[in-house]
Amino acid sequence: MAKYKLEYIWIDGYDPVPNLRSKTRVVECAGFPSLADVPMWGFDGSSTRQAEGKSSNCLLRPVAVYPDAARENGVLVLAEVLSPDGSPHFSNARATIQDDPEAWFGFEQEYFLLKDGRPLGFPRDGYPEPQGKYYAGVGHALVGDIAREIVEEHLDLCLEAGLEHEGINAEVAKGQWEFQIFGKGGKNAADQLWIARYLLMRLCEPYGVDVEWHCKPLQGDWNGSGMHTNFSTRHMRETGGREYFEALMAAFEKNRNEHIAVYGPDNHLRLTGLHETQSIDKFNYGVGNRGASIRVPSAFVSDGYRGYIEDRRPNSQGDPYKIASRILQTIATVPLR
Ligand code: ADP
Ligand code: MN
Ligand code: MN
Ligand code: MN
């Protein structure tokens, strides 16, 4: 029997931007614990805006386990928050997903790395060279000195955790980066994204670096941060067709406000019609169009309107549970033909 360090990770009750919380429990287990080996737990909800002081206990129901390569015998335990009676807590967006395991999601998470409140690589005063060469760039002048070390370590931690991590790239603004997480099923994909966010924030602690998830941390001619959400259902991949696609887009247009409501706070600052975005009060789609609300890959059209499409509106601070939930909800309104 070995002692495993179980890091229970959950999402708190702050609104509009919840925080990740975690605490450790040591448990003896014969081998690497599976989900069934991991017990329910609880926490003080009055410290996380999830309960009043008088009856403050909230429950943690484990929903997924991942190896934690940063710790010996470490386990990352993602948990849903339940009320004391066992029902889903109001802060538990995961529980709202009407999931479809055949719906595939790919999240492109953008973010800034900040030191002393400034993006990594920014001079102490003023601004660096305007954006242009930073996207996918190489060299100290473009990337700075610790950013790549951090993103590389993060990639390894994600892979060692077994996440379906698909890649990384330096982004358009200086100090801005992206990673991509894929998953089958809305819950599964969003679970992995939250774990990847947790690993990045924890990794940055000893560097004295903060992860800035806000969608528009820099004023002026600097890109904001999105979380483009790529998705496909079995029907989209295997049957598709122009008629179905147009009906799907009509449903997305009709539910524009409902989508924007869960696509992350302050999105009006980012969805301006500039910097590869469509403005927040418009809806359109376009083949290969990075200025559209929804980008349709050209292969989608040439394959008979089959495959995945990219909703470019969700932002970097959005909750992937709410985003996946809303996308699935809108898809479910469109009859298959
Ligand atoms: P971009 O050109 O927009 O920067 P990326 O390569 O960063 O594209 O991201 C593409 C995303 O699309 C990846 O997260 C990938 O997992 C996702 N993806 C690829 N195929 C599918 C599919 N069939 N269904 C859903 N998502 C998909
Ligand atoms: Mn990308
Ligand atoms: Mn990007
Ligand atoms: Mn994209």
What residue spans define the domains of the chain?
2-93, 104-332
Question: For residue 175, with 0-12 CB atoms within 10 Å meaning exposed, 13-18 middle and 19 or more buried, which class applies?
Answer: buried
pLDDT at 337: 73
Closest CA to 239 of 248, 250, 251: 248
Instruction: Encode pLDDT of 55-76 as tens digits.
Output: 789 999 999 999 999 999 999 9
Instruction: Decide whether any atom of ligand 1 lies within 6 Å of the 99 Cβ.
Output: no
Residue 331 host element (H or E)? helix 320-331
pLDDT at 53: 73
pLDDT at 83: 95
CA distance 225 to 213: 8
- Give the pair of three-digit tokens for residue 110: 């953008």
Which whole number is the average pLDDT over 304-312? 98
- Give the pair of three-digit tokens for residue 120: 């990594």
Q: Whose CA is closest to atom 7 on ligand 1?
A: 108
Give the percent of the chain with pLDDT over 90: 96
Q: Which atom of ligand 1 is nearest to the CA of 228?
A: 3
CATH level 2 (architecture), domain 104-332: 2-Layer Sandwich (3.30)
Q: What is the DSSP letter of 35?
A: G
Cβ-Cβ contacts under 8 Å for 149 (sequence gap 6 or more): none
Confidence of residue 52 (pLDDT cuts 50, 70, 90): confident
Instruction: Decide whether any atom of ligand 1 lies within 6 Å of the 177 Cβ.
Output: no
**Fold equal for 2-93 and 104-332:** no
Instruction: Decide whether any atom of ligand 1 lies within 6 Å of the 316 Cβ.
Output: no
pLDDT at 93: 98
Question: Ligand 1 centre and the CA of 194: distance in Å?
Answer: 18
3-state secondary structure of 207: helix
Check: CB of residue 297 under 8 Å from CB of residue 288: yes
Instruction: Decide whether any atom of ligand 1 lies within 6 Å of the 166 Cβ.
Output: yes
Confidence of residue 54 (pLDDT cuts 50, 70, 90): confident
CA distance 111 to 147: 12
DSSP for 299-313 reads HHHHTTS-S-EEE--
Quick one: 2-93 is in which CATH superfamily?
A: Glutamine synthetase, N-terminal domain (3.10.20.70)
pLDDT at 206: 98
Q: Which residues pair with 105 in a beta bridge?
A: 183, 231
Instruction: Decide whether any atom of ligand 1 lies within 6 Å of the 229 Cβ.
Output: no
Instruction: Encode pLDDT of 139-198 as tens digits.
Output: 999 999 999 999 999 999 999 999 999 999 999 999 999 999 999 999 999 999 999 999
